[in-house]
Amino acid sequence: MKILMYAVLEPEKKYIREWSAKTGVEVKCVAERLDAKTVEWAQGFDGIDFQQTQPLEPVVYQKLHEYGIKQLTARMVGYDMIDFDLAKKYELTVTNVPAYSPRAIAEMGLTQALRLVRKLGYYDQRMDNLDFRWAGLESTEIYNLTVGIIGAGHIGGATAQLYSALGAKVIAVDPIHQVELSPYLEYTDLDTLLKTADIVTVHTPLDESTANLFNSETFKKMKDTAYLINMARGGIVNADDLIAALQNKEIAGAALDTLADEGQFFEKQATPEEIPEDYKTLRAMPNVLISPHSAFYTDTAMKNMVAMGLDDVVAIVNGKRPQFEVYK
């Protein structure tokens, strides 16, 4: 059996070699993402594995079907880059890796929230100008705050446990109420969460119901002292409306691990011409933190996402049911 892995990061290769040695399955790694040109490299392979946020072009589905490939395995949580109608048309089973390391992303969100709450961006701005005074930057402590989680799945659940351990009150919105999370959070509705939470942290998939969930109306419902943490997908937050809300002091700050237009410049050495204006505006604000979709990037996460993704490829190629099939 031969598998082609797209968009392989250098640190992943160690774990790929370990998995290949353990299973006896041949794996070829390429750095390029899966697109209309690179899909041709899949000819002669039994399965593929990829990670990217850019949408797959229609020809990708057609070519994979022609090559006899039966699956699309995204070694990541999100799957909004996949057109499920085309996947169904070309008989491609879709899998993802929903829980490679929920703690990795939960810890990153907490880290950024703590930076915002303690107003470290403002201190950095002052110290860059040799101003070492702390007047006007009094902050608070996490146990005094209410944290609202939108999407209490694997990552949201891990997030709840971290904030709860620090003494915060945690509330959450999710269509599925998991009884095992009851020691850490209380479920509520979205309007109540927005009006109540001091930190709103987002861990939900991007789909028709969550696209532009955070817009001008949403921000008006939030406290003007509240912080938005988006560790999910950029398209959930309307960047222009976020900028306006920050400029109008409708919310206190934001931490973003993802942007709607990140495909233009994330994960590469970009040129100045490739940088969009919304990024420039947000990046210049001392109360905004941006990371390049790197919240997942830990050794534990990479090891698990490699093994879990490849295991599902093998299962499908062998005619078995994968562990992490995505139904839509």
pLDDT (tens digit per residue) in 305-324? 999 999 999 999 999 999 99
Catalytic (active-site) positions = 233, 262, 293
Q: For all residues of the chain together, what is the average pLDDT?
A: 96
What would the two tokens of residue 107 be? 């810890």
CATH class of this structure's domain 2-100+298-317: alpha beta
Confidence of residue 267 (pLDDT cuts 50, 70, 90): confident
Distance of CA 69 to the CA centre of its chain: 27
Q: 296, 76 in Cβ contact below 8 A?
A: yes
Mean pLDDT of 91-103: 93
pLDDT recorded at residue 53: 87
Confidence of residue 244 (pLDDT cuts 50, 70, 90): very high
pLDDT recorded at residue 5: 98
Q: Is the pLDDT of residue 52 over 80?
A: yes
- Domain residue extents for the chain: 2-100+298-317, 102-290
Q: 171, 146 in Cβ contact below 8 A?
A: yes
Tell me if 2-100+298-317 shares its fold with 102-290: yes
Cβ neighbours of 44 (radius 10 Å): 10
Place of tokens 């817009």: 215
Instruction: Classify domain 102-290 at the CATH superfamily level.
Output: NAD(P)-binding Rossmann-like Domain (3.40.50.720)
Question: CA 250, CA 246: separation in Å to the nearest integer?
Answer: 6
First-residue to last-residue Cα distance in the chain = 28
Confidence of residue 2 (pLDDT cuts 50, 70, 90): very high
The predicted-structure confidence for 270-302, as pLDDT tens digits, reads as follows: 999 999 999 999 999 999 999 999 999 999 999
Confidence of residue 264 (pLDDT cuts 50, 70, 90): confident
Q: Which residue from 220, 225, 219 is spatially nearest to 253, judged by alpha carbons? A: 225
Question: CA 84, CA 325: separation in Å to the nearest integer?
Answer: 12
Question: CA 271, CA 265: separation in Å to the nearest integer?
Answer: 8
324: amino acid identity, one letter: F
What is the value of pTM for the model shown?
A: 0.88
The predicted-structure confidence for 118-151, as pLDDT tens digits, reads as follows: 999 999 999 999 999 999 999 999 999 999 999 9
